């Protein structure tokens, strides 16, 4: 027999059940808002110009399900030849969040190249916290990756 309380619980659970397939689908391996990786920043420029440089659609390359943009054809070609060397760790998701076991978006200005690897963070404060715990946060993020994608 359905009581009022049981009926209310069933109605409350219905949205959760309906959302379950989406929640189980997981997140893409590359953080790419609108399909554009790392907010359109040139991943190679972090290494060659020591700065976040905006890329353009004219110099783009598709890799790992995302479109990567570059400030020049030369940078695009460098990336295409060896994307693992230039793509940010943790798929461009926040390195500090990855060290804590969750995903967060990033901004191009909150970056670090550490031991020849690019790391991005959600904001400058997250970057500061992440830098204060090097290298332990990298090991923690790697232990969580890629399981945190879902």
pLDDT, tens digit (0-9, with 9 covering 90-100), for 99-137: 999 999 999 999 999 999 999 999 999 999 999 999 999
Write down the pLDDT at residue 136.
Answer: 98
CA 46 to chain centre: 16
Q: Residue 25: which pLDDT band, with cuts at 50, 70 and 90?
A: low
pLDDT of residue 77: 98
pTM of the model: 0.83
Q: Is the pLDDT of residue 6 over 70?
A: no
CB neighbourhood size of 28 (10 A): 15
pLDDT tens-digit map of 29-87? 999 999 999 999 999 999 999 999 999 999 999 999 999 999 999 999 999 999 999 99
Q: Which residues contact 90 (CB under 8 A, 6 or more apart)?
A: 98, 119, 141, 145
């Amino acid at each position: 027999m359905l009581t009022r309380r049981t009926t209310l619980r069933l109605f409350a659970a219905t949205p959760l059940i309906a959302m379950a397939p989406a929640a189980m689908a997981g997140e893409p391996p590359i953080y790419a808002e609108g399909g554009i990786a790392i907010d359109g920043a040139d991943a190679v420029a972090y290494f060659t110009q020591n700065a976040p440089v905006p890329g353009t659609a004219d110099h783009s390359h598709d890799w790992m399900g995302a479109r990567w943009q570059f400030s020049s054809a030369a940078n695009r070609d460098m990336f295409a030849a060896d994307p693992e060397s230039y793509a940010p760790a943790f798929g461009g998701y926040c390195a500090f969040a990855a060290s804590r076991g969750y995903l967060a978006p990033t901004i191009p200005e909150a970056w670090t190249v550490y031991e020849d690897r690019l790391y991005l963070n959600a904001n400058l404060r997250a970057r500061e916290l992440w830098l204060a715990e090097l290298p332990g946060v990298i090991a923690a993020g790697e232990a969580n990756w890629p399981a945190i994608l879902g």
